[in-house]
Amino acid sequence: MNLTLKIWRQKSPKDKGRFETYKVEASPHMSFLEMLDVLNEELISKKEDPVTFEHDCREGICGTCSLVINGQPHGPNKGTATCQLHMRHYKDGDIIVIEPYRAAAFPVLKDLAVDRSAFDRIIQAGGYISVNTGAPQDGNAIPIEKDQAAKAFDAAACIGCGACVAACPNASAMLFVSAKVAHLAMLPQGKVEAKRRAQAMVRQMDAEGFGMCSNVTACEVECPKEISVKNIARLNREYLSSSISSETKV
């Protein structure tokens, strides 16, 4: 299948950047990233600069492969990361527009690669458990309702790819932050620091320049792990509770 790719090229964060058009021949059995590998091999053979894009596990686990494809973060498939997208979902002669994530908090490093270290700093602000919980215990030693454990597990599935930010018209990181707050707040070990955690992570999110939740819910639609926006409501409750509590220590 012959495809036309319109790819964002940007040499450095200070470069203005522009779209460049390439022709590539791909197999329907290739993954999207393998198709980009084929393009880069052709560019290298011509002694041209290959397209810079991020990738690691290529199994939909790490969230590194974050691209906006024809206007959609991670492409057209629901619940799928870019590395899990295959070329059989496209037709011969298709035009595919490939861009980096667009957000002030995710500055472009080069081409399709962006700096998402803002997420790391949000986690460092409070997305952890620092209290001593003792040695590992048997599975039934700490009774947790199955429904509660399932919700915590679903929130913990967030891979921090940033698709929620790219999909939100306000470039909000609320879905990411809420998932990290929720999966800890719903477990006994995480409740000790729940109030401080919500305050610290929201404050860091604001400091990084992310916008407020737009209530459009595009974040849930584009999330490769289908994290529920219900977690945002939980984050708001946790934040409000910690704000009015006299015991809050930030």
Tell me: the pLDDT tens digits for 6-43?
Answer: 999 999 999 999 999 999 999 999 999 999 999 999 99
Residues 99-155 pLDDT 10s:
999 999 999 999 999 999 999 999 999 999 887 777 777 767 777 888 888 999 999
Using the predicted structure, report yes or no on whether residue 250 has a pLDDT greater than 70: no
Q: What tens digit of pLDDT does each residue of 146-163 get?
A: 888 899 999 999 999 999
User: Can you give the pLDDT at residue 247?
Assistant: 52
> How many angstroms separate the CA atoms of 7 and 17, rounded?
10
Buried b (16+ CB within 10 A) or exposed e, 63-89: bbbbbbbeebbbbebeebbbbbbbbee
Structural domains in the chain, sorted by start: 2-110 (3.10.20.30), 116-244 (1.10.1060.10)
pLDDT score, position 248: 45
| pTM of the shown model | 0.91
β-strands 95-99, 2-9: how paired?
parallel
Kindly report, residue by residue over 184-224, the tens digit of the pLDDT. Answer: 999 888 888 888 999 999 999 999 999 999 999 999 999 99
Identify the sign of the CA torsion 219, 220, 224, 225.
positive
Q: Report pLDDT digits (tens) over 53-92.
A: 999 999 999 999 999 999 999 999 999 999 999 999 999 9
